[in-house]
Amino acid sequence: MSATITILPTSLANKIAAGEVVQRPESVVKELLENSIDAKARSISVTVKDGGKTLIQIADDGAGMNEEDASLAFLRHATSKITTYDDLECIRTLGFRGEALASIAAVAQVELKTRRDEEEAGTLIRIADGVIQEQSKTGMTRGTTITVRNLFYNTPARRHFLKSNSTEFKHIYDVVQRIALSHPDIAIEFVSDGDTIVNLPVGSMDDRIKNLFGERVFATLIPVNEHTELINITGYIGKPNFARKSKAEQFIFMNGRFIISRSLNHAIFSGYEHLVEKGNFPFYVLSLELDPHKVDVNVHPSKMEVKFTDEQSIYRIVMAVVRRALGELEVVPSVEFQPAPSSGPFGSGGGSFRHSEYPRFSNFPPINPGSFTGMRSGQDDGDVLPHGGGVPGPGASAFGLDVEPLFSGAGTSAAGPAGDVGTQVLRMDRTAGEHTDAVAIWQLHNKYILTQIRTGLMIVDQHVAHERILYERAQLRFQNAVPSSQQLLFPHTMTLAPGDFALAKELLPDLELLGFQVKVFGKNTLVLEGVPPDVKAGSEATILQDIVDEFKNNQNRIVLDARDNLAKSFSCKAAIKAGDRLTESEMRSLIDQLFGTSMPYVCPHGRPVIVKVPLTELDRRFMRT
């Protein structure tokens, strides 16, 4: 720290979020650790006794203070970290209020020993009741050691307020853990009542997590690494099935500072898309780096709450990043289709397909269950899901979340009308043994879709695949508020049980966004005049009741917000079922659209959509090894 300490002018001091800094031993540890980090320490040791009540000592090897600064440091609003209002707009240090040392010195007996490199000797200062009792020179190496004894000795009421030693210890441990996680480049030792609790060497983030939580926890984590213009996000998120009952292992750091953000917690939780149920908490350690101008940390005295200028964008990026990391969870990275021969029927159609592991299968129109029965010719509303349906709007590519298409060239195939392709496919099927580079596709028991991938066999559950597609489509409709609907030639009148009627009425605005046209027609009676194009012909009469039932079911099982529940209920009930026979083109279209979703590998309820059987597994079973 080359800047020297000055006392902030009152006008600036008044702009700083005021409040009690020292509430318990934990706050002392936090403030002192932050000072050591701001002083660029490489190694810090924390020693406490009796939960910090009788002793807290923090020793660092940071920049230290000269004698003059040392005597100023305990004055209120004495800081070397900001001098002007502009500095307050762009905080790069953990501290900036110049209040911590003053507040601590007011309620404890404090000893400061500090030395800068260029000083011949160190400075020792003893303070009690906020007044310097002793100041002298002392021999020591570079760095600062602050010893805080008998916290609240002069304010018995507050001392009384402290919890048991073990509870106060636990709070201190939490602080040490947060600091350790946000700064793996600093060695940290923590000793309590003579026991070494942790002794963490300098290392990578991976090492730090392993040291703090163990190898077993580390093995359940998925890395996150996203760099966008607005924000960089790195760290780890836990696999959903390892979620715990407690929030204790959730950490968000913003520019090296542990923060508490309901909004970001929500973004992450939404990223998990209810793979984790309410009441369970996935592990995460996420570090966000962004321009300090774009975030305000001067919101609360604890400096743990922050305000982002661009809160919505950050929310969306965080959610998308988590969702994508989870989506990749099930992937065998080597999975890849053989590129289709240029003369083959499945050459690239270009288009919306973006997952590099999979080629675009076809350029067939989106699957339309209406055509299964041929009853209602689906007027294609052009409602093809854009890539990453869960990532809203134009932001997705701007944030660099796009993946290059596998086939970037123009369509090479002569994929004509579906009929033609169908015949060609039959031929390909028969000769699949020889033409291993052609991608064949089969339906098994009108339930599963089988196809060859480079590493072996891919099996898709047709119902859950369609469910995933419709779920994201429904969410998109909610977001964009552009319903798409097909008028029914013969409106359906239906009478519901009073409870169901009330629920349906409550859901009406959202049902309309999905594409349902419903009129209330007297007591407990609704008239359905139009349905979303995704609704299978012939099921118009029952679909609403089905959705209401599913909605109630979900309500009983898990806590969902109403829209999410409706999207899930709709997608579950409108999706093709096991037993529905699919044409060749429908299967291909289904798979295309599936890989256009943000999370092809799990359905909205968390069931797997895709199972892969690697060739190596088949070889093993046939004893071909």
Footprint of ligand ADP on this chain (CB under 6 A)? 1, 5, 31, 35-36, 39, 60, 62-65, 73, 78-81, 95-102, 144
The answer to whether 16 contacts Mg ion (rule: CB under 5 A) is no
Q: Is the dihedral of CA 204, 206, 209, 210 positive or negative?
A: negative
Residue among 35 and 589 whose Cβ is closer to Mg ion: 35
Binding-site partner at residue 96 among Mg ion, ligand ADP, none, CB < 5 to 8 Å by type = ligand ADP
Give the pair of three-digit tokens for residue 542.
Answer: 């029952």
Residue type, 418: A
CA of residue 25 relative to chain centroid, distance? 32
- Rounded CA gap, 571 and 467, in Å? 5
User: What are 310-313's contacts with CB under 8 Å, separation 24+?
Assistant: 310/230, 311/263, 313/230, 313/395
State the minimum distance, in angstroms, from the CB of residue 100 to Mg ion. Answer: 4
Shortest distance in whole angstroms from residue 566 CB to ligand ADP: 49
β-pairing verdict for 284-289 and 250-254: parallel
Q: Are 469 and 385 in contact (CB under 8 A)?
A: yes
Report which DSSP code applies to 157. Answer: H
Which of 100, 319, 367, 507 is close enough to bind Mg ion by CB under 5 A?
100
| Residue sitting closest to ligand ADP (CB) | 95
Residues 6+ apart with CB under 8 A from 118: none
Nearest approach in angstroms of CB 308 to ligand ADP is 22
**Stretch binding Mg ion (CB under 5 A), from 91-99, 253-261, 587-595, 613-621:** 91-99
Query: What is the rounded CA–CA span in Å between residue 176 and residue 178?
Result: 6
Which entry of ligand ADP, Mg ion, none binds 124, CB below 5 to 8 A by partner kind? Answer: none
Residue 110 or 320 with smaller CB distance to ligand ADP? 110
Residue at token pair 């998308």: 320
> Which residue's CB is nearer to ligand ADP, number 77 or number 163?
77
Min. distance of Cβ 56 from Mg ion in angstroms?
15
Shortest distance, position 114 Cβ to ligand ADP, whole Å: 6
For the bound state, the minimum distance from the C-beta of residue 135 to Mg ion, rounded and expressed in Å, comes to 21
Among ligand ADP, Mg ion, none, partner that 464 touches (CB below 5 to 8 angstroms by kind): none
Taking the least distance from each CB to ligand ADP, the nearer of 66 and 154 is 66
Cα dihedral angle (453, 458, 462, 466), rounded to 10 degrees? -60
- Is 95 a binder of Mg ion (CB under 5 A)? yes
Query: CB-hemisphere CA count at 13 Å for 400?
Result: 9
**x/- contact string, 19-38, with Mg ion (CB under 5 A)?**
----------------x---
- Identify residues 28-87 at the interface with Mg ion (CB under 5 A): 35
Long-range (24+ apart) CB contacts under 8 A made by 486-491 are 486/376, 486/378, 486/379, 486/515, 486/530, 486/531, 486/532, 486/533, 486/535, 487/517, 487/529, 487/530, 488/528, 488/529, 488/530, 488/531, 488/540, 491/527, 491/528, 491/529
Least distance (Å) between residue 534 CB and ligand ADP: 57
Which residue, 144 or 565, has its beta carbon nearer to ligand ADP? 144
Degrees, nearest 5: CA angle 364-369-371 = 75
User: In angstroms, what is the minimal distance from the CB of 400 to Mg ion?
Assistant: 36
Give least dist CB 408 to Mg ion, A: 53
Of the candidates 342, 355, 471, 456, the one whose C-alpha atom is nearest the C-alpha of residue 403 is 355
For Mg ion, the closer CB: 12 or 450: 12
C-alpha 232/C-alpha 224 separation (Å) is 10
Contact call for residue 143 and Mg ion (CB under 5 A): no
Q: Which does 533 bind (CB under 5 to 8 A by kind): ligand ADP, Mg ion, none?
A: none
Interface residues toward Mg ion, by CB under 5 A: 35, 95, 100
